[in-house]
Structure 1
Amino acid sequence: MTEKVCSHHKGKQKRFFQRLCAILLVVAFILLLIFLITWAILQPKKPRFILQDATIFNLTVPAPNILTTNLQVTIYSRNPNSKVGIYYDHLHVYATYHSQQITYYTQIPSVYQGHKDVNIWSPFIYGTMVPIAPYNGLALTQAQSNGGVDLKIRLDGRVKWKVGAVTTGRYHIHVTCQAYIPFGNRGTGIVIGTGVKYQLSQSCSVSL
């Protein structure tokens, strides 16, 4: 009798857990479906970035394969969504020349950007005696002599979307800003201490 009673109780427990799991799966499916429908209705837009200015303190080529850079950039970021917030995480900014990285990574602190909110960052970007391809060193020296250098300011990191009380997983974000620096004409810049600030107001491309 004892074995039959135990077997009976085990059967009941098994059916109870099976039903509980089924209920939890249905609830999870319904919540996911609601989130996806809400997401489709809201149609979140990518954040917008603008490179407002760049202040050059140092950009020298002491040898054909060596570059030293010290600059500060001002980056404007806006969330165009009225119902979707954005979390920025592990966002790094750096400069490249002819597709080669010429500065170290500078980290921008993690931040939440609410609906229609704007953030402005002014990070310093630098690289001391950074090895570069010899042809890039020669090209950069020639570009400076010709009156202007075409750099790219890049931001790489991860973002999360926030819809109501729900937050998505992380997505990679890549931002590229064109920065043409007219070295040949200081009249186009503003002298700030040992540096020269150039107004750029350049829209950036954003990919997720």
Structure 2
Amino acid sequence: MTAKDCGHHDDDRKALQRRLWAAIVCSIIFILLLILLVWLILRPTKPHFILQDATVYAFNLTTPAATLTTVLQVTLSARNPNERIGIFYDRVDVYASYHGEQVTLATLLPATYQGHKDITVWSPFLHGESVPVAPYLAVSLDQDQFTGTVLINIRVKGSIRWKVGTFISGKYHLNVNCPAYINFGKKNNGISLGSPVKYQLIMDCNVDV
């Protein structure tokens, strides 16, 4: 075999490799475009959260130490509005906040898959024992309690994934804010441990995904 013949075979091998790589790249691009097209047609809609009720077991501000003790149980419902898309709730935490400051520990919700149009209900307990609050928040909270109404925000944070057929997306950040107006009555100093009060709220939550 001459050197010319060897060079010819090398050129054929390189051309075959180039065609093979081009076919692989085109296949990957086609699959990605197909997934994107299906995704755009289906248009996933973020879940709809409702804060149904809150049972307050304790809500006491201690002065002058400016510490807050909070014990409550909330009922949250989440509805998947999508007809062809399921939702995986991978890791989702719930906690209570007052004027943007977290006042309870985060409670982890169980991992859940939500089918098309399904509704999931959670009833987590939220605890915060003698949590220090900023002095200006202590003043604001004292005033709110005096007037009888306190706005507590129930926050839900975590990650979700979308499921379309056998395709499962990457993780998306879930951020939910549920306002809860707790009416203690005028000139009230809060609720002492052992005297729970249940509030029917039915409040729509703001959801960002």
User: Could you say which residue in structure 1 is the equivalent of 2:117?
Assistant: 116
User: Could you say which residue in structure 1 is the equivalent of 2:108?
Assistant: 107
Task: Provide the TM-score with structure 1 as the length reference.
Answer: 0.88
Distance in structure 2 (CA, Å) of the matches to 1:207 and 1:58: 30
Task: Provide the TM-score with structure 2 as the length reference.
Answer: 0.87
Cα pair distance change 1:16/1:134, threshold 3 Å:
same
Cα pair distance change 1:128/1:15, threshold 3 Å:
farther
- The aligned amino acid for 2:54 is A
Q: Is 2:58 aligned against 1:58?
A: yes
Deviation at 1:16, TM superposition (A): 4.1
Distance in structure 2 (CA, Å) of the matches to 1:6 and 1:72: 79
Distance in structure 1 (CA, Å) of the matches to 2:75 and 2:36: 36
User: Could you say which residue in structure 2 is the equivalent of 1:84?
Assistant: 85
Cα pair distance change 1:104/1:14, threshold 3 Å:
farther
Distance in structure 2 (CA, Å) of the matches to 1:3 and 1:72: 84
User: Could you say which residue in structure 2 is the equivalent of 1:205?
Assistant: 206
- The aligned amino acid for 2:19 is R
Deviation at 1:183, TM superposition (A): 1.2
- Which whole-Å deviations, capped at 9, do the CAs of 1:159-197 have from their partners, x for residues lacking one? 111111111111111100010011118xxxxxxx74111
Distance in structure 1 (CA, Å) of the matches to 2:15 and 2:113: 45
Cα pair distance change 1:200/1:12, threshold 3 Å:
same
Q: May I ask how many residue pairs the two structures share in their alignment?
A: 201
Distance in structure 1 (CA, Å) of the matches to 2:18 and 2:4: 21
- The aligned amino acid for 1:203 is D
Distance in structure 2 (CA, Å) of the matches to 1:127 and 1:5: 82
Deviation at 1:50, TM superposition (A): 0.2
Deviation at 1:5, TM superposition (A): 8.7
Distance in structure 2 (CA, Å) of the matches to 1:183 and 1:6: 92
> RMSD value over aligned CA atoms?
2.1
- The aligned amino acid for 1:68 is T
User: Could you say which residue in structure 2 is the equivalent of 1:18?
Assistant: 18
User: Could you say which residue in structure 2 is the equivalent of 1:190?
Assistant: none
Divergent runs of 4+, >3 A: 1-18
- The aligned amino acid for 1:162 is K
Deviation at 1:42, TM superposition (A): 1.1
User: Could you say which residue in structure 1 is the equivalent of 2:147?
Assistant: 146
Query: Unpaired runs of 5+ in structure 1?
Result: 186-192
Cα pair distance change 1:110/1:16, threshold 3 Å:
farther
Distance in structure 1 (CA, Å) of the matches to 2:205 and 2:140: 24
- Which whole-Å deviations, capped at 9, do the CAs of 1:62-101 have from their partners, x for residues lacking one? 2342111111100000000000111112211111111111
Percent identical among aligned pairs is: 48
Correspondence 1:117-196 to 2 at 5 A: 117-184=118-185, 194-196=195-197
- The aligned amino acid for 1:96 is S
Distance in structure 1 (CA, Å) of the matches to 2:130 and 2:5: 80
Distance in structure 2 (CA, Å) of the matches to 1:27 and 1:162: 22
Distance in structure 1 (CA, Å) of the matches to 2:55 and 2:159: 26
Distance in structure 2 (CA, Å) of the matches to 1:59 and 1:10: 80
Any idea what SS the aligned residue of 1:103 has?
A: coil
Query: Unpaired runs of 5+ in structure 2?
Result: 187-193
User: Could you say which residue in structure 2 is the equivalent of 1:35?
Assistant: 35
- The aligned amino acid for 1:74 is T
- Which whole-Å deviations, capped at 9, do the CAs of 1:30-77 have from their partners, x for residues lacking one? 111111111111111110000000010111112342111111100000
Deviation at 1:198, TM superposition (A): 0.4
